[in-house]
Structure 1
């Protein structure tokens, strides 16, 4: 079977019946033995993921086919299937590898859950902006299972450790913020793909004024006339908090969590 044939059939394989977590993810955790024999000594799951991430970063996700990754590693495409059963499995590990482990928390946020979650929010956003292809493919079909995803969740729970929130509420808070970051990044990346975002937004604002001229959508018209859609700043930032809209949304989420915490404290 050549590389083209292998790639064409890779999505037909399905290992979900074997368990909730793919074998390759269990291997990434060290919970499953790695292949001991192969056509090339030294081929590893980590090496496969790193090669795939490098191709995706350089040329885009479409270029990171199983055949191309195998070529980069100097092995046959079928050799990769001893480590990952499907390309979807590889993509899950690629996203995890691209984002990497969460950066250490600075001492300045120690003991301040709100500052800690701001830092956490910014770190997730920065990682997504650094790998746009990965930001668009964060797994959403179930709970996080990969090493770096769960390390990030663990860090968020550490930040919230001294709050009176229940363990369920702490996990829910972390998921709420991570989902907010993903939505924010998706919007910015989509808008940033346009060669002339400011012109398009001006045209959109003009369109809203035209359709609301007869009295329809009165509250939207007030927002447009109030400058809600003027002078957008949509170049990809290093940190998500560089955007007023992002900071506003995060602070309102943190206000809600603060209210819940205050309600739990006696007195």
Structure 2
């Protein structure tokens, strides 16, 4: 019988390096240089000057090698950004032994939000696919573990984690953008809106404005984040109660 040889799919260089499947894409120019040093240099540039300042040439300069030499460690800028993003998230907190699934996911969501607020440039990197890097998988593992006692199907657990992480990422993006606009953002918005809308055409918005719902002082987003998080968790609770 003929044996069919099925080749394994090619693993992107950044994924292979991150998981320790290879030391680096090629031989390095200097024994003292390591991939963690390169990633840390990228993090330092992004933190100080923003993601737009991160380039292979700039990171090479930070670690004291030529740009071509850096390519021996990191195959492309996209690979570097992937590794930087994974490093920015870091490891998730340990699963709390004294919390139920809801308390565990609440802590998990807040930890992600704190990581994104610490490294807001991560939000500028488009989501190009499911999690593949070590820290990303660790966060996924932690979220799925919180749902272990719910009785949900494995596919449902995965969907829950993706839903919750999407909510946190969306809120982090919004709150950081509004926070950057300054503390008077809400007041300016309410004043502008009052001048342009027609109460007859938009009665519901007008009612919200009359109640002061749109001109409350911006508090950093935590109260609104808690409200939305609780509603997402309420939906998950309903799903656990409705299971066969």
TM score, norm. by length of structure 1:
0.82
The equivalent of 1:67 in structure 2 is 57
Aligned length: 237
In structure 2, distance between residues paired with 1:234 and 1:192: 9
TM score, norm. by length of structure 2:
0.89
Asked whether the equivalents of residues 212 and 218 of structure 1 are also in contact (C-alpha less than 8 Å), the reply is: no
The equivalent of 1:229 in structure 2 is 214
* Aligned-pair CA distance for 1:192: 1.4
Asked whether the equivalents of residues 121 and 177 of structure 1 are also in contact (C-alpha less than 8 Å), the reply is: yes
The equivalent of 1:101 in structure 2 is 91
Q: 1:36–1:215: structure 2 CA closer, same or farther, 3 Å change rule?
A: closer
In structure 1, distance between residues paired with 2:108 and 2:157: 14
* Aligned-pair CA distance for 1:78: 1.0
- Range 206-215 or range 96-105, more displaced: 206-215
The equivalent of 1:51 in structure 2 is 41
Give the secondary structure class of the aligned counterpart of 1:144. Answer: coil
In structure 1, distance between residues paired with 2:214 and 2:9: 48
Q: Which runs of 5+ in 2 are unaligned?
A: 1-7
Whether 2:142 is the aligned partner of 1:155: answer yes
* Aligned-pair CA distance for 1:83: 2.4
1:120 to 108, 130, 138: 108
1:49-80 CA distance string (max 9 Å, x none): 11111221122222222112111211111112
1:190-216 CA distance string (max 9 Å, x none): 11112x432x32232133233333511
Give the secondary structure class of the aligned counterpart of 2:172. Answer: helix
* Aligned-pair CA distance for 1:19: 5.4
In structure 2, distance between residues paired with 1:33 and 1:22: 14
In structure 2, distance between residues paired with 1:85 and 1:76: 14
The equivalent of 1:15 in structure 2 is none
Give the secondary structure class of the aligned counterpart of 1:107. Answer: coil
1:243 to 211, 222, 228: 222
Q: Which runs of 5+ in 1 are unaligned?
A: 1-17, 236-241
Asked whether the equivalents of residues 25 and 75 of structure 2 are also in contact (C-alpha less than 8 Å), the reply is: no
The equivalent of 2:183 in structure 1 is 197
1:209-267 CA distance string (max 9 Å, x none): 333335111111111112211223244xxxxxx711111111111111111101115xx
In structure 2, distance between residues paired with 1:21 and 1:231: 50
In structure 2, distance between residues paired with 1:23 and 1:232: 47
The equivalent of 1:81 in structure 2 is 71
Q: 1:26–1:101: structure 2 CA closer, same or farther, 3 Å change rule?
A: same
Q: 1:33–1:232: structure 2 CA closer, same or farther, 3 Å change rule?
A: same
Give the secondary structure class of the aligned counterpart of 2:186. Answer: helix
The CA RMSD over aligned residues, in Å, is 2.0
Asked whether the equivalents of residues 129 and 135 of structure 1 are also in contact (C-alpha less than 8 Å), the reply is: no
* Aligned-pair CA distance for 1:23: 1.0
In structure 1, distance between residues paired with 2:26 and 2:81: 23
The equivalent of 2:5 in structure 1 is none
